[in-house]
Amino acid sequence: MKKNTLIAAVSVLILLGMITVLYYLPRWQNKTYNQTAFVMGTVFSFSLEGKEDPTSELLQLGNSLEKDTLSRRVKDSEIAQINASAGDENGYPLSEEMEELLTTCFDISKKSEGAFDITLGALISLWDIDGWASGERGDAKDFRPPSKADISSALECCGYEKVRIENHRIYLPEGMIIDLGAVGKGLYLDKCRGELSGNINGIVSAGGSILTVGEKGDGSDWKVGITNPFEDGLYATAVLGSDKCVSTSGNYERFVEYEGVDYHHILDPKTGYPAWIKDSEEDSDDQKVGVASVTIVSDSGLLSDALSTACFVLGEEKALELSAEYGAEIFIIRTDGSSATEGNHFLIK
């Protein structure tokens, strides 16, 4: 082969190599994908870095979890069918996933002495704080707390101890409605973790629940802000490694005001009223310091979400015990503005 031909062939090969590198380089480099959407009645947002965009798949996962499984308002979802079977002596067959979810929820109900209870659907519908707070129910000025008689009769249809699960079937008493609003977002985070194996890192946020994915590029910890319930801005920060779930339940998240009292969306099954509000009969003692928000850190999204709701209702002393029982860390902001914590992931601002 002539020298010139050889030089030409090598040049062509180098050129082809360069074109290939230039073509594939963007695919080898990490990109950041930011996405926000309205799912499960709240805002989901993703800030993830990786070679391929996982966000549409994750959104799809959220939408189908809501539609097929968790939403009691979607007619054919699994939970809607379970609710429709209330009063049926033949019960209803449970999928393996639903049985596991409900069993975990009822376990938390037992350990929280009923403070956490997914069978509160009738009471939640009666108050419909979500509907009033979002404006779907009408003008918030028209909101009135339900009467004591209506609260009592709604409570008759509630109570986890009235539910039976046997041979993979569930038996609900007449009128009972299961509401999974306190656990859906956490369960979703666990599913996201399953999808996001490999070289992706960043944050998935589903309403008040957050998942840290992988390691931060600069090797530092992930920092998740804990909202100040009393004024704009943050009260504290959770400093976290990879694959941790953080959930906050707070009285400031969804509420509607009537005669100077903010009626929020986390209900105390013992009183039938929102937990820790001043005018509920059992909590009328003004000296009592209640809970304004509870943040839980756990390896499990389901646990962080469920426990934040449970601990909010339970109050400080029992909340510290319950979170310890599940190996979770907890940060409580009291209604008087002070705080309590168990765990070393929290920094007060």
* Positions that interact with ligand ADP (CB under 6 A): 116-118, 120, 124, 130, 179, 181-182, 207-208, 249, 253-254, 265-267, 269, 305, 308-309, 313
User: To the nearest whole angstrom, how small is the minimum distance from the Cβ of residue 68 to ligand ADP?
Assistant: 19
Residues 160 and 275 sit within 8 Å (Cβ to Cβ): no
Residues 8 and 32 sit within 8 Å (Cβ to Cβ): no
| Binding status of residue 85 toward Mg ion by CB under 5 A | no
| Binding status of residue 309 toward Mg ion by CB under 5 A | yes
User: To the nearest whole angstrom, how small is the minimum distance from the Cβ of residue 114 to ligand ADP?
Assistant: 8
40 binds, among ligand ADP, Mg ion, none (CB under 5 to 8 A by kind): none
Q: How far apart are CA 120 and CA 108, in angstroms?
A: 14
Q: What angle do CA 112, 118, 122 make, to 5 degrees?
A: 125
| Binding status of residue 304 toward Mg ion by CB under 5 A | no
Starting at the edge strand that comes first in sequence, how are the strands of the sheet with 92-93 ordered? 92-93, 169-171, 164-166
Q: Which of residues 177-216 bind Mg ion (CB under 5 A)?
A: 182
146 backbone dihedrals φ, ψ, rounded to 5°: -65, 160
120 binds, among ligand ADP, Mg ion, none (CB under 5 to 8 A by kind): ligand ADP
AA letter at 308? S
Nearer to Mg ion (CB atom), residue 283 or residue 305: 305
179 binds, among ligand ADP, Mg ion, none (CB under 5 to 8 A by kind): ligand ADP
Number of residues that bind Mg ion (CB under 5 A): 4
Q: How far is CA 303 from CA 48, 228, 292, 329, in A?
A: 23, 23, 20, 11
Nearer to ligand ADP (CB atom), residue 123 or residue 200: 123
Neighbours of 60 (CB within 10 A): 11
User: To the nearest whole angstrom, how small is the minimum distance from the Cβ of residue 20 to ligand ADP?
Assistant: 48
Residues 211 and 245 sit within 8 Å (Cβ to Cβ): yes
User: To the nearest whole angstrom, how small is the minimum distance from the Cβ of residue 115 to Mg ion?
Assistant: 12
| Residue of the chain from 244, 305, 322, 323 that contacts Mg ion (CB under 5 A) | 305
Long-range contacts formed by 323-326: CB under 8 A, 24+ apart: 323/296, 325/111, 326/298
Summarize as ranges the residues that interact with Mg ion (CB under 5 A): 182, 305, 308-309
